[in-house]
């Protein structure tokens, strides 16, 4: 790619306070298919196993009555004196029988994904966070943001109080997205609400820093806001739902660190397959 | 700024955006219409020509809070700066003068001449709505159809 453009760095009061070069990763090819594939598989990696009991439906001593008694040949519960006697047992079609193909805990719950594919997806997702159209298409309210990608001074990493954090976001135009998340809190529809997943919330901005000097604790209580260290970027946060274009707020050192992480000595940036003549 | 061409953005957003609304398509007789309600889409239709996200030059006429209209376009210089990238022209004069403003901003300077008719149509609709909202014109009550067993 040609000379890389400059990105403005903003101070915590919203004024422009410097410039940084756009990292090379932001010019990686945008590949929604790879991002979606890697995301669906990565999403399966924190699943907990479920299965029916191994003895479910089998704890009966039932045997078939054979032919000649004008009943179907399914095994039937023996004995007498209760309505259960004579009922069909064992089959998946029987009431109280074991299910077809009982679920087992040794199902392959986690998915292995090639490392190159995972890195490609993260690079693509990072590139998408720098395109305002994609961030808006994903649903983030970024109309008031002065620039995308949004880079703040390193002082943001030393914020200690949430009230200060909220003021910073307001000064920089990012509060609209946080408010969207806050307004969207609803009780989940479906059984998840009784299974410790009571509320659903939209995702707000993702704040990426390189040094945690209080950022995590200052920003984490704001609804929808997520935090990420630049060394450990997570595709599930960069492309929630498999859709590229999360609204990311960078600290200056985090943005500059990207050039080291994805550079000659670091991870390879995917090559663009076609360049316009 | 990342070099993301209009066509590429369209390919990435044509199937799902948060602004897309799909209507009908539930019976064999009706087809799905895809609307797209982002700012910058003058007909609110989901297609490359009208997309407010994919095009680097867009035209939109919207109603403002005090029952007036405003024309907004996209500036090519400020494509990565959402707060500055949409210069807004207020449309407060008489209908005929506004019509001239819209034509000059959209077609005569060759900004998006293909959207001239749509921009004017949208302004007409907003103008009519504003007049009802201001009380100048009364809205026509919906007539009850014949043969509806209520």
**In chain B, helix, strand, coil percent, each to 5?**
30, 15, 55
pLDDT recorded at residue A2: 45
Asked if residues A9 and A20 have their Cβ atoms less than 8 Å apart, the reply is: yes
Q: What is the pLDDT of residue A1?
A: 40
Question: Which chain B residue is nearest to residue A149, measuring alpha carbons?
Answer: B80
Question: A251: which strand partners?
Answer: A152
Question: For residue A229, what pLDDT is reported?
Answer: 96
Cis status, amide bond into A74, omega within 30 of 0? no
Question: Per the CB < 8 Å rule, is A5 touching B82?
Answer: no
From CA B36, how far away is CA A56, in angstroms rounded? 51
If you measure CA to CA, which chain B residue comes closest to A35? B12
Angle between helices B95-103 and B116-134 (to 10 degrees): 150
Q: Is the dihedral of CA A140, A145, A149, A153 positive or negative?
A: negative
The number of C-beta contacts closer than 8 angstroms across A and B is 71
Q: Which regions of chain B are under pLDDT 70? A: 1-3, 77-78, 147-150
Q: Which residues of B touch A142 (CB under 8 A)?
A: 82
CA dihedral sign, ordered A91, A95, A99, A100: positive
B37 touches chain A (CB under 8 A): no
Contacts of A138 in chain B (CB under 8 A): 17-18
Give B12 to chain A, closest Cα distance, Å: 7
Look at residue B149 in the predicted model and tell me its pLDDT.
56
Nearest to B85 by CA among B11, B1, B12: B1
The CA distance from B73 to the nearest CA of chain A, in Å, is 14
Do A133 and B1 lie within an 8 Å CB cutoff? no
Q: Give me the pLDDT at residue A264, please.
A: 76
Name the residue of chain B whose CA is nearest to A1's CA.
B3
The DSSP call for residue B142 is P
Task: ipTM value, please give it.
Answer: 0.85
Instruction: Please say whether the beta carbons of B71 and B102 come within 8 A.
Output: yes
The answer to whether the beta carbons of residues A185 and A199 sit under 8 Å apart is yes
To the nearest whole Å, the CA of A45 is away from the closest chain B CA by 26
Q: What angle do CA B82, B85, B90 make, to 5 degrees?
A: 120
| Cβ count near A29 (within 10 Å) | 16
Mean pLDDT of successive 10-residue segments in chain A (277 residues)? 77 92 92 96 95 94 93 93 92 93 96 95 95 93 92 94 95 95 95 96 96 94 96 95 95 94 85 77
The secondary structure of residue A28, as a DSSP letter, is S
Nearest 10 degrees: Cα torsion B59, B64, B70, B74: -40
Sort A100 into a burial class: Cβ within 10 Å, 0-12 / 13-18 / 19+: exposed
Q: Is A168's Cβ below 8 Å from some Cβ in B? A: no
Asked if A123 reaches chain B (Cβ–Cβ under 8 Å), the answer is no
């Amino acid at each position: 790619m040609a000379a890389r453009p400059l990105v403005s760095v903003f101070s915590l009061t919203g004024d422009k306070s410097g410039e940084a070069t756009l990292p090379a990763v932001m010019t990686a090819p945008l590949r929604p298919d790879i991002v979606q594939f890697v995301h669906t598989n990565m999403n399966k990696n924190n699943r907990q196993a479920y299965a029916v009991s191994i003895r479910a439906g089998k704890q009966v001593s039932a045997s078939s009555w054979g032919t000649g008694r004008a009943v179907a040949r399914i095994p039937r519960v023996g004995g007498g004196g209760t309505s259960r006697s004579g009922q069909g047992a064992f089959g998946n079609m029987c009431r109280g029988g074991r299910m077809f193909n009982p679920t087992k805990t040794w199902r392959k719950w986690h998915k292995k994904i090639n490392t190159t594919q995972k890195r490609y997806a993260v690079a693509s997702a990072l590139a998408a966070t720098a395109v305002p159209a994609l961030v808006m298409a994903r649903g983030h309210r970024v109309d008031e943001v002065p620039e995308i990608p949004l880079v703040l001074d390193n002082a943001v990493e030393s914020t200690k109080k949430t009230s200060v954090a909220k003021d910073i976001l307001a000064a920089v135009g990012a509060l609209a997205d946080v408010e969207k998340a806050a307004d969207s809190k609803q009780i989940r529809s479906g059984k998840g609400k009784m299974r410790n997943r009571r509320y659903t919330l939209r995702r707000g901005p993702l704040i990426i820093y390189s040094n945690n000097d209080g950022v995590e604790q200052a920003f984490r209580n704001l609804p929808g806001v997520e935090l990420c260290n630049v060394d450990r970027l997570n595709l599930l946060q960069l492309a929630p739902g498999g859709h590229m274009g999360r609204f990311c707020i960078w600290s200056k050192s985090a943005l500059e660190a990207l050039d080291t992480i994805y550079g000659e000595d670091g991870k390879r940036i995917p090559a663009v397959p076609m360049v316009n003549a | 700024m990342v070099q993301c061409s209009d066509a590429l953005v369209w390919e990435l957003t044509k199937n799902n955006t948060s602004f897309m609304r799909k209507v009908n398509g539930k019976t064999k007789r009706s087809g799905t219409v895809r609307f797209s309600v982002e700012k910058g889409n003058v007909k609110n239709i989901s297609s490359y020509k009208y997309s407010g996200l994919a095009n680097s030059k867009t035209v939109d006429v919207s109603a403002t809070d005090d029952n007036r209209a405003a024309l907004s376009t996209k500036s090519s210089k400020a494509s990565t700066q959402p707060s500055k990238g949409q210069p807004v022209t207020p449309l407060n004069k008489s209908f005929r003068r506004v019509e001239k403003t819209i034509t000059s901003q959209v077609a005569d300077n060759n900004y998006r001449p293909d959207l001239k008719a749509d921009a004017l149509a949208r302004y007409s609709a907003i103008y009519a709505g504003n007049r009802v909202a201001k009380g100048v014109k009364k809205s026509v009550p919906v007539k009850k159809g014949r043969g509806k067993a209520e």
